[in-house]
Every structure is written in C-alpha cells, then in structure tokens.
Amino acid sequence: MMDKRLINTLLDLLHSPDSRIRASKGLHGFCEEYNLGMMQGASLVFSENDKTEIGRILQGELGINPATTTSASWKQLDRAQSLGLAHDEKLSGYSVGAGRLRLKTLAGRLLQVAGGRWTLPARADIGLDLEVVLGSRIGHDSLLIVENLQTFDDIHEVGPNVTDLLADRDPLVLYRGDAQGGTRADAVHALIARTVLPVYVFVDFDPAGMVIASGLPRLDQVLSPELMKLEALIRTNGISQRYLDQVAAASHALERLESDPRIAPLWDVLRRVGKALPQEYFHHRFTQNVSRSIKAT
C-alpha cells in the first residue's frame, strides 16, 4: 500500500543528496516489492539507478512528477487539492500487481494450477491471483522462483548445467515480480509461506541475487552450475564493477550469508573472484552468441 507517508519519504529521498535512509516498515516493504535498495545496518542504501527507478514508479504508477513535487507540496492542501498531485485510485491504496502471480513451467511440461491444465508456447506464461492458485491443488512437485523477467521468459533456453538439478522435478515456475512485470514479490513470498512444496531459486550470481535468495520464506536450493565450473565462468565472464557496487551497499546483509549453508558456498565463490555474473549468461541464445563472437575473432 502506497500511503502519503511513504510517498513523502520517497520524495525526500529523491530530493536529497544522501543515499542512506532509515528503514521504516513501509519503506522496507516498498523496497522488497520493487527490488530496490540494499540493507546496511538499520538503514537502506540506494544507488542512483535505484533513485531513478523510484522516480519512474512515482511518475508512471502514481502520477506524481518527482521533479516538481516534494513532501512539502502536500502541506496546506485539502483532500481535493491533494488529488491534483497524484492519481486518486493509487492513493486509495490499490497497488498494481497486488496479489498477482506470473506462472509457467519448464519446457515440455503441462501447467497444472487453479483446476486447469495448459500447454503453453515457449516464452508464454499466465497471470493468476494468489488466492486462485491456492484455492485448488497445485499439480507440481516444487516451486522455482526466477529473479529476472528475461530469464523467466526464456527459462526453456537455460542450459542443463543449471537445470540438471531439476531433472526429476516438475516445478511450477514463478517470476519473482517487479515494478514492470505486473506481479509483486510479496505475492510470491505468500505462496511459498502457504505451501509445503520444495523451493528452488535461480538468481543472478551477484550480491543482490544472494540476498534475494536468502530472503525467501523457505529455500531448499539455489540453482547453479557445479562450483568449480561456476568460478571459472565468473572469472572469465564476470563483471567487476557490478560486484563492487552491490557489495558496498549490502555489507550488513551479506554478513548473514556466511552462516547459511544453502548460499554460503556460492557467496564464497563470488567473494573470492570479486565479480558478478547475471543469470542471462546461461541462456542458450547468449552462450551461442558468445561462441560465434569468439569464432569470428
């Protein structure tokens, strides 16, 4: 829910040169929903890209112009006048994507939810309300949470070096959610919390991805190549600046990963190499393009 207090907090952040702000409950929930900011102690730290995205959310979803609106703009205005600063339906508490899930399966599998059975084309998915999914038996033996929308769309192209772990599984594949995808992370978290199905996650191999994995209500395993192969891939193809930017903003949250047996081995590889590798690297299309580029040179 985007209430006026949270809106004012976000506007204050955008109009301040500071990148750190105390993490209130409302702000923390907003950041989890939209995958923005990184926890550091009792504060949230925001990059310039995070601030840009917050401005886009305020403008695109709430009708607030962040360039001309500050928290002081609301003062001395009555209820009717304040509606001129934002869309009234948003201020009523409605949030785009609330309670929605985006669902699909691995290639060649039958989607079995909400009392129906569907064969979806490649790159297709369906959107359903959380309560509809929970209202009928889920005909899958596990859940697979995918961090990025591109990888969710192209999950059929992710190579067996990642998906071999699921060879004997028939997971319900879910997009984690973000500001643009029409679903929210809290709906995915609620589905996990209200089911007993084993939970797998496929995230970016970077500090933010590890924090996302550790923040799920339940987690059985992170999908990954064998650790020695992963380390070799990150050394050759990883992005140093991406790692450095994220690790600086998330140092407090990352400390907890060292004691998490599901994530600590992956985090140890990332720390040792000092680079990050996006999950899109593991799409067949990407690796084929890389191979062609190498042959061309």
- Euclidean distance between CA atoms 72 and 224, whole angstroms: 48
Is the pTM higher than 0.75? The answer reads: no
Say whether both 46 and 112 belong to one domain.
Answer: no
**Residue 53 belongs to what domain range?**
4-91
Say whether both 72 and 149 belong to one domain.
Answer: no
Say whether both 224 and 107 belong to one domain.
Answer: yes
Say whether both 39 and 119 belong to one domain.
Answer: no
Number of domains in the chain: 2
Say whether both 112 and 154 belong to one domain.
Answer: yes
- Euclidean distance between CA atoms 68 and 74, whole angstroms: 12
CATH of the domain at 286: 3.40.1360
Say whether both 132 and 65 belong to one domain.
Answer: no
Given a cut of 60, whether residue 95 has pLDDT beyond it is no
pLDDT tens per residue, range 9-56: 888 888 888 888 888 888 888 888 888 888 888 889 999 888 888 888
pLDDT at 186: 85
pLDDT tens per residue, range 168-220: 999 999 999 875 666 778 889 999 999 999 999 999 999 889 988 988 999 99
Percent of the chain beyond pLDDT 70?
A: 83
Contact 36, 53 (CB under 8 A): yes
Of residues 213, 214, 207, the one with CA closest to residue 241: 207
- Euclidean distance between CA atoms 43 and 20, whole angstroms: 6
